[in-house]
Amino acid sequence: MAKKYQKSLWTILVCDGDSCREHKSKKVAKRLKEAVKTHQLEQSVAVRKGDCMKHCKRGPIVRIQPANIEYERVKPKEAAAILDALLAQIPEAADD
């Protein structure tokens, strides 16, 4: 059974600038979306493309808002771990 989380809390921005795209940012975004779906978190976590975050040499960059947590040199296989780390911070919704 999936846990319940509060709605619309987090946005995961994946840099879609040229340099990050050269380093597989699209695949990172795809894996993050898959992980969100696997955990049934579509209501709580949005994965979006972002403009260049000005850290091109350290890309792909993933930024989590509103906490402003940033990951550098993210590999697609690390997407699930990023989401797991985020889940540890998301408050569960209280049972009614």
Q: Which residues bind ligand FES (CB under 6 A)?
A: 15, 17-20, 52-56, 59, 61
Query: Residue 45 forms beta bridges with which residues?
Result: 10
Whether residue 60 contacts residue 25, with contact meaning beta carbons closer than 8 Å, is answered with: yes
Q: Which is nearer to ligand FES, 12 or 41 (CB)?
A: 12
Q: How far is the CB of 56 from ligand FES (least distance, A)?
A: 3
Q: Which two tokens stand for residue 45?
A: 């976590």
* 72 and 28 Cβ atoms separated by less than 8 Å: no
Instruction: Collapse the DSSP code of 52 into the 3-class scheme (helix H, G, I; strand E, B; otherwise coil) and give the result.
Output: coil
Q: For ligand FES, which is the closer residue by CB, 20 or 41?
A: 20
Nearest approach in angstroms of CB 13 to ligand FES is: 10
CB-nearer residue toward ligand FES: 19 or 43: 19
